[in-house]
Amino acid sequence: MSKRIRTLILTTVCSVVLLAGCGKDTSNSTATTEATTEATTAATTAASIEATAPATTEDPFREHVKTIEVTSSDWHDGVWDTVITKTKKGANVSPQLSWEPVDGADSYVIYMVDNTATGWLHWKSADVKETELPQGWAGEGEYVGPYPPGGTHEYEIYVIAVKEPVTKVFGTLDSSNLSFHEKKYSCDINDAGEEGNILAVGTLAGTYTYGD
């Protein structure tokens, strides 16, 4: 056998061995690539879900004022009684409310807002002197009961104690107020010197389901 032929055979054998070795490396590389791709996809999906999840409503202002405990005989286990609603089964009367008087407070501001429907305002009263409000206390120009078009909505009451009288408060009654949660303490509610006019804030949130 000639030297040239032996060289050709050796070259061919080496090529086969190298190809076999490359095949194994390619398999490992493919597995590694698939694992990396899967991990990357999972991480991207998780990040996407987190980015699209609704943010919780925060109220950092309340960390700097006292808290009022608000109760109502028209609220049971997190649900508002039907009687306060503006529905066929309801009477469209403002709910009974009670809270402890706040030292130094001249009066109170009251809101009821639909947190589910773009800040729809159902109750808006200023210069409230009492701390025990019977059912139906709010007049027609200050209260319109919940009337959700469908599903379950959350309605939250705010009681805000102020040092100086307030005549102007934010929002339009029985209407959508998109910036309610950013401006509920605005207007002249909190305009009284450097420390502001607000002494304390209390809330009571409950749901009402269409058809109940």
Q: What is the pLDDT of residues 115-156, one digit of tens each?
A: 999 899 999 999 999 999 999 999 999 999 999 999 999 999
pLDDT over threshold 60, residue 16: no
Angle at 182 between CA 163 and CA 180, to 5 degrees: 90
What is the tally of helices (H) and strands (E) in the chain?
Answer: 2, 9
pLDDT value for 59 = 77
pLDDT over threshold 90, residue 6: no
CA distance 65 to 116: 26
What ranges in 53-89 are assigned the alpha helix state H? none
Average pLDDT, the chain: 78
pLDDT over threshold 90, residue 78: yes
Q: Which amino acid is at 184?
A: K
CB 39 within 8 A of CB 31: no
CA distance 36 to 34: 5
Question: Tens of pLDDT along 173-196?
Answer: 999 999 999 899 886 676 544 568
pLDDT over threshold 50, residue 113: yes
38-42, 104-108, 180-184: least confidently modelled range: 38-42
pLDDT value for 186 = 81
pLDDT value for 57 = 52
Most confident of 1-5, 19-23, 126-130, 189-193: 126-130
Residues 6+ apart with CB under 8 A from 97: 70, 71, 72, 110, 132, 133, 137, 157, 159, 204
Helix (H, G, I), strand (E, B) or coil at 159: strand
CA distance 177 to 119: 5
Position with higher pLDDT, 65 vs 130: 130
CA distance 123 to 8: 95
pLDDT over threshold 50, residue 40: no
pLDDT value for 119 = 93
> H or E stretch including 35?
helix 3-52
35-52 burial code (b ≥16 CB/10 A, e <16): eeeeeeeeeeeeeeeeee
Strands 66-67 and 198-209: parallel
CA distance 175 to 95: 19
What are 107's strand-pairing partners? 162
pLDDT value for 118 = 86
pLDDT value for 196 = 81
pLDDT over threshold 50, residue 10: no
pLDDT value for 41 = 38
